[in-house]
Structure 1
Amino acid sequence: MKRKLLRGLAYAVDTVFPTRILAALCSLGFGIDLALQITNASGILAEGSPLAQFTIAMMAWLWITIAWAIYGLARAADWIQQRGGLLAARLFRVAVGCTLAMVVAISIGSWGLNAQIGRFATLDTLLFLVANPLLSTWDHMGSGERRSIVLASIAAPAVIWAFCWLLRNTPQLSRDRSPRDLRASWVLAGIVLMGIWMPIAGDLSAQRSASRIESVRSRLHPLVTLASSSYDLLAHEPIQAKIDPESLIALEASWTVPPNTARPSVIFVAIESLRSDVVGLRHQGKLVAPNLTRLAAEGLTWNRAYAQSTHSDYADVCIVSSLYPLRTQRHHYYRSDDPWPKTLAFDLFKQAGYATAIMSSQNESWGGMDQFLNVPSLDLFFDSARSNLTTYTSARDPGFALERAVGAFHAGSLYDNQTMDRTLQWIDQQLASQTPYFISMNLQSSHFPYELPPGTEEPFQPARMDRDVTFMYHPPEKTPLVRNAYYNAIHNCDKELGRLVEHLREQGVLNDTILVVLGENGEAFHENGSVGHAREPVEPALHVATVIHAPNLIAPATDDYPLEHVDVLPTVMGLLDWPTHPNLQGSDLLSDQRTPLSQRLIFHHVNSGAALGDAVQWAGRWKLVIDRQRHSIQLFDLETDPQESTDVAGEHPVIASVLHDVLTRWYDQQLAYYRFPAYYQKFYPPQPPTLTDQQLQKLNAAG
């Protein structure tokens, strides 16, 4: 029985591999790779089925391929020796041996990098290290990278010798194999691999599929990452590593809460699709948002406030992180093991002794936002997925409905009154313990299709939306009906905001609370043909309401200075007399040192299934938009054309050129920072670019 088993094993080895020596060596390589993956607690195998099965199958197929590649190179060396002589064959073997040894060394180094950041080295990372040796010195490397470099250096001579020996002796050690043997073994393994891969790539959940594909690309094996990143260099515009390290702040920079400063509670209320023009808006003789309008009259209203993006997963997290959403060329789904530094509002307020909470009506799993937001400094994370309450999902929100239908999400959305009930309860608990608190809220009634709890007041009529009204399109003649439905939803969000304000007033703490109400993104109603949000960076989808109510700290006023979401957290920190943390990319807009309006730049990035592009605004007037799907560049004068109906790039070529250069610089440095470990392992994110004196002179002369 034992002899039959051994014969069967030998037959299997001879069927799959060209020689038993190569079978032994490649099986050893497979075993080492598998052991490294198994011992990595946060590795790709930890994600379970089907990625675990695909990872094992892919590594097996990869090592079978390596065995046949070595065999083919050995046969080529033998052919060269027969026709070109022994010297030519030796030179060929040494060249191939050195090349393969370099691949092994890179793989060992890549495993070391994986131990540091959970990802393997990409091709452009290797090119970056060669081109920027000062940023890849021994002192700047992690312990895992140092160990891997030492190991690779020691192993290199032995590896070169081993490959040269294999190339010289493999043809003599191999059994007679036909091309049919090669195709049968290699293709069969490939078919098995593809059978496992198809359910991953063809997953109906776009979010789940994209996340798994990215894991395969960056965390399965060093050679897979090198191959996929090589394709990226051909398929996408190259990322230039042009950030001057002198302009960055080292991660070692310290930040502390100043002693003996006031500790008022702080509440951020983000309302879905809250356009700027709803503040003070009367429709059909009634205020659409009466409570927000009263807060605006008592607080500071920013007339030119802008979301960072037109879709929630990129816009929401900017508010509490003060980080721009542009990280990768592909749509980025956040992961808990993303290697980049972040310092969220919860981290800062917790350090000051605050209780911290998220109170959200939406499922924060959308886009992986919960993976970004759920940090140790967060005391309570309350959203639809964690509430244990009944949720709803609308079939008219097709993207989210599909994710739920295929099991990617296990909860829909909460009605906003459910979220507010839990919020008021938690506030009372903190007031009873005399603990200051920070809350990040999110209200969702105003998300299309604007569904409200049964029995909710709907003052604006008619508001019935037919089936031809969808998330991103409705016939222009039906815009009044859709607007009415939207206003009803905003009115309901405002009612819940009123409950919060009244509760704080009854508890006697309203004036001692910093209350920030803002739109997470906007909503378009056929302005220049655009409908809904999550599309191009058009004005109605970006221009949002923003009010800071803090009577003890700010006098009632309006401000026309342009604000972007990354500025909200630093501005509130300024109200508390806290310095801005170096991990924040926004600035304190109430500071005496804020950038003059003539030099003010704000940036936007969109990457959804419907749009891919960027925009920059200068001085609250000029806006340049790069549409990366249509490969177009447009310039708009928002002062005379707030609907963005006329491209004036041809009339103002100097302004278009300068803003294009600025936007390209911002785009390049964002991608470079998040692409190259030499930046994000040592430094905080770059501050947004500013206008040079020469650029400012050109703009002033042209504008």
Structure 2
Amino acid sequence: MSPLPSRDSINRFFVLSGLWVTLHVSVFTTQQAYSTLAVALWTLATTVSYAFLYLLPALLPGYLLYGFLARRAASRGGVVALAILLIGLTGMVQVLLFADRVIYSMYGFHINGFVLDLVFTPGGIASLGASRSTELTATLVVIALLALQAATYYWATRRTAGRRPRRWMPRARWLLLAVLSFAVGERVAYGFSAAANYQPILFASERYPLYLPTTFRKLASRLGVSVASEAADGLHVKHSVLNYPLVPLRVEPPARPLNIVWLAVESLRYDLLDRTIMPQLWDFSEHALRLEQHYSGGNTTQMGIFSMFYGLYGNYWFPMQAARRSPLLMDVLQQQNYQFSLHTSQSFTYPPFQETVFARMNPADMHALSEGPPAWQRDRQNIDDILKFIDSRDQSRPFMTYMFFEGTHANYTFPPESVIARPYLEDFNYLSADFAQQMVPIKNRYINAAHHVDQQIGRIIAHLRTRKLLDDTIVIVLGDHGEEFMERGRWGHAADFNRFQTSTVAVLWVPGQNARRISGISSHLDLPATLMPLLGVQNPPADFSLGQNLLAADFHRDYAVAAGWNSIAYLGEKFKISFPVNASGVVRVQVLDDDDRPVSDRDQAKSEIRPAMVEMMNNLTRFSRPKG
């Protein structure tokens, strides 16, 4: 029978594990966190106390199992189970902290509801598009962190196995008291900082995963602290019962219904519509409606696709998903006996569009190629299938086909014949790439991927032209959102609402419409308001959307709106300002100018858009009503 490790050795193991976690957490901090003595002391206290907090999921079950085994003659199996539990739980704490640090460094946010949704929704992990080398590197990191904890456990238990305990408990009590003192100290410091709006500590707190803000404004005021007025920047919205549409639709189906070819491209930012990069789409746009300052309804695929089909702010995603409410646009198409062929090179389960945009679609009409060959090959195969559908459909009925291209998603895939930008990074490993030094060859991968997507779009347009269908078919080409390549300090999307991450290519072909350009602001929200009249909907757009008809002679937007997981952004000609929605703790408001640079006079900028903010606030609840 293997001897059960002493409590002394278990204490030592957790103390050492706490040291590793403290070192790990310290990497989240920056030089600004040590700029003054007060902030440095707060940073030290927070780093230590939160390291202990992060270890609690391992501490509690570990000591419970140890206590259970200590009261009995522990078997070899029990001792092994204890070792596996302690190593596994502490190792996973390290792994999660590492993953959070990678996510935060790339996107500017911690593991949150958006990330958890990605992990636990079928198809979510696959949507990241990680290369094999990235997956291998991640696997090696996990193994290394677990090995560190295994070595720590071996060292801690080997030193005391079979020996008389060295009475670590008194020391452990003192250590626990010190950690609790740090925790209380940082709580008090944060509370007074929140009351006085002392930003160095408030903003430093954002760098800690799962940071729990504590405020006591009334107490601080009684103690003589000059209390800052509570920020009114955060928006608080409570959706109740959906009221969508506001009134029933009045529809007079057209005598000659138009077909619809809807092409959505992952991360296709605005400046890719270029004669060299996307010559096929550029030539087509010369004869269509080209939107030159077009914004997605979000900085993620979820919000981007949602907004283009519903014409609503992305924040409506959550009540729509809960109600399994499809967009009115798709309802009208079904009512008019359209036949469908819906394709994606990712999946319909992440984001879960089968619960929103395509909630009422026949699963037989939904075709996903989410695994197997590289994304560019899946894109090509989907286009093959769409062309076959167009040729084999029932020609007595109108059709709607949808395609989501994945090739332009990181890690940006393309065949050799589509290479137009060199040099490009041969192996794009998310974990080992030096983004500061390798951004040009990384972006060249993106350009090559976009060039291949353009070739596939060109195949569809040429097929419609050859089959003499262009005069009967609406063609829509949009990016779901943009993509940044460190122009403003980040790579990818989902982190900010600057133009690089939110502005997309947008081309709309409507038979009978003259070619023209709209140089002012337009939005994904405008698509349903534009298409529904073409389907015979008599209601004004305000009855069913927050968009405007792009084909109207008086079309004009003062601003666009984009949404994140728990945020909303005003995107105007002069400013881009984002606000948290239903946020707690620090109210982080991003205020950018027309060149996506931080604005010095933030209050003045917010004051200038106050009427728009009131309108946005009303729109957040426009299509819902109180219960009862």
TM-score range, shorter chain: 0.5 to 0.7
Q: Which amino acid aligns with 2:512?
A: L
Alignment of 1:137-286 (within 5 A): 206-207=116-117, 239=236, 253-281=247-275
Using the alignment, how far apart are the partners of 2:588 and 2:371 within structure 1? 45
8 Å Cα contact 1:305-1:544 kept in structure 2:
yes
Q: Which amino acid aligns with 1:503?
A: H
Quote the offset at 1:460 in angstroms. Answer: 1.8
Partner of 2:513: 554
The answer on 1:440 being equivalent to 2:440 is no
Deviations for 1:478-511, whole angstroms, at most 9, x for unmatched residues? 2221121001100111111011011111111123
Q: Which amino acid aligns with 2:529?
A: P
Alignment of 1:7-18 (within 5 A): none
Quote the offset at 1:647 in angstroms. Answer: 0.9
- 558-567 or 370-379, which moves further after superposition? 370-379
Partner of 2:494: 534
8 Å Cα contact 1:361-1:415 kept in structure 2:
yes
Q: Which amino acid aligns with 2:332?
A: L
Partner of 2:58: none
Quote the offset at 1:520 in angstroms. Answer: 0.7
Partner of 2:110: none
8 Å Cα contact 1:343-1:584 kept in structure 2:
no
Using the alignment, how far apart are the partners of 2:290 and 2:600 within structure 1? 30
The answer on 1:604 being equivalent to 2:562 is yes
RMSD value over aligned CA atoms?
4.0
Quote the offset at 1:563 in angstroms. Answer: 1.3
Task: Considering Cα pairs closer than 8 Å and 6+ residues apart, tell me whether 1 or 2 has the greater RCO.
Answer: 2
Flag structure 1 segments of 5+ consecutive residues without an equivalent. 1-197, 213-230, 282-286, 394-411, 679-703
Partner of 2:591: 635
Partner of 1:317: 306
Alignment of 1:242-641 (within 5 A): 253-281=247-275, 287-327=276-316, 332=318, 335=321, 338-339=322-323, 341-378=325-362, 380-384=364-368, 391-392=372-373, 415-430=378-393, 432-452=394-414, 456-465=417-426, 469=430, 474-550=434-510, 552-575=511-534, 578-580=537-539, 582-592=543-553, 594=555, 596-597=556-557, 600-607=558-565, 612-618=566-572, 620-626=573-579, 631-638=587-594, 641=595
Quote the offset at 1:517 in angstroms. Answer: 0.6
Deviations for 1:51-101, whole angstroms, at most 9, x for unmatched residues? xxxxxxxxxxxxxxxxxxxxxxxxxxxxxxxxxxxxxxxxxxxxxxxxxxx
Q: Which amino acid aligns with 1:352?
A: Q
- Distance of aligned partners of 1:478 and 1:210 in 2 relative to their CA distance in 1, 3 Å threshold: closer
- Distance of aligned partners of 1:379 and 1:426 in 2 relative to their CA distance in 1, 3 Å threshold: farther
Deviations for 1:204-258, whole angstroms, at most 9, x for unmatched residues? 993388789xxxxxxxxxxxxxxxxxx99x9998946699x9xx97868332432
Partner of 1:656: 606
Alignment of 1:50-129 (within 5 A): none
Using the alignment, how far apart are the partners of 1:677 and 1:437 within structure 2? 38
Q: Which amino acid aligns with 2:347?
A: N
Number of corresponding residues: 409
Deviations for 1:376-401, whole angstroms, at most 9, x for unmatched residues? 355754332xx5x85347xxxxxxxx
8 Å Cα contact 1:345-1:569 kept in structure 2:
yes
8 Å Cα contact 1:334-1:368 kept in structure 2:
no
Instruction: Say which SS state the counterpart of residue 425 (structure 2) adopts.
Output: coil
- Distance of aligned partners of 1:588 and 1:434 in 2 relative to their CA distance in 1, 3 Å threshold: same
Instruction: Say which SS state the counterpart of residue 352 (structure 2) adopts.
Output: helix
Instruction: Say which SS state the counterpart of residue 495 (structure 1) adopts.
Output: helix
Instruction: Say which SS state the counterpart of residue 363 (structure 1) adopts.
Output: coil
Using the alignment, how far apart are the partners of 2:316 and 2:244 within structure 1? 19
Structure number with larger C-alpha Rg:
1
8 Å Cα contact 1:275-1:545 kept in structure 2:
yes
Q: Percent identity?
A: 19
Instruction: Say which SS state the counterpart of residue 617 (structure 1) adopts.
Output: strand
Instruction: Say which SS state the counterpart of residue 507 (structure 2) adopts.
Output: strand
- Distance of aligned partners of 1:251 and 1:602 in 2 relative to their CA distance in 1, 3 Å threshold: closer
Using the alignment, how far apart are the partners of 2:493 and 2:246 within structure 1? 39
8 Å Cα contact 2:246-2:623 kept in structure 1:
no
- Distance of aligned partners of 1:509 and 1:527 in 2 relative to their CA distance in 1, 3 Å threshold: same
Flag structure 2 segments of 5+ consecutive residues without an equivalent. 1-88, 97-114, 123-211, 217-232
8 Å Cα contact 1:273-1:522 kept in structure 2:
yes
Deviations for 1:274-296, whole angstroms, at most 9, x for unmatched residues? 11111125xxxxx1111110111
Q: Which amino acid aligns with 1:457?
A: S
